[in-house]
Amino acid sequence: MRTVLITGATSGIGLSIANKLHKNGFAVFGTSRFPEQHQHKVAFELLPLDITSEESIKNCIAALSVRTVVIDVLINNAGNDLNGSAEETSSTLARQQFEINFWGTVNMTKAVLPLMRDQKSGQIITIGSLAGLVGIPFQSFYVASKHALEGFFKSLRFEVKPFNIRISVVEPAFFKTNLVQGFSYAEPTIPAYTKDRENALSVYSNSIKNGPSPEPVADVVLKILRTTRPQFSYRVGSDAKTLPVIQFLSYPLYEWGAARRFNI
């Protein structure tokens, strides 16, 4: 029975992964900023965590270490999405996006690395995004944070391989989650962008609201954990598999298709 710590495990993709692993015999611990509000809804233990706070991360790992001798797997899932044009987005909001999506994930990862090095084994799976592979209109800083995670974990994979620590990133396309309810928006808005912004964000939001269940993402995570030699990248969903290929073969074709799809 391997011990798994999953950040952001109370809804959406994180909850789907936690439930899948719990049902398949893993010792699952999830995290939430407000675990007392969700504990009665889930079958696994929740630990308090705010990934933007290094003190909270330290306390979370300490609490987990009391409950288990070994931390076998970290699944980085917590994050949010900042919407708006780059020009409309203040540096404060942009930095907050990186504090959550990039630095929160990085600091969580760094917190478990000493434990995994000491035990000479471990696995870190990060839930990235199609947005870490392609450009998406009016998602500039969200996309930038996901691209940054791709580069970070590609490099980290080299560094920790000698310690038998395995690194993978899962890149889902559009799946039905509560991400839309947690959207942040750039303010004040600039009228010149209004039409294209509203069109693009409407398509983007509807793609999430009307997407399939995130169960396939959980299936892929389980597959990774059962694989002897996991690869770095796992793309889930038709868009995640086809759009990066189109972009690689012909960027003008990808750009034309994306502009048409997002109605801009």
CA distance linking residue 135 with residue 120, whole number of Å = 37
As beta bridge partners, residue 3 has 27
Pick from 17, 64, 48: nearest CA to 177: 17
Which residue type, as a one-letter code, is found at position 224? I
Catalytic positions: 142
Token pair of 200 as six digits: 């693009």
- 3-state secondary structure (DSSP) of residue 6: strand
H/E stretch holding 17: helix 12-23
CA distance linking residue 22 with residue 35, whole number of Å = 17
CA distance linking residue 183 with residue 46, whole number of Å = 23
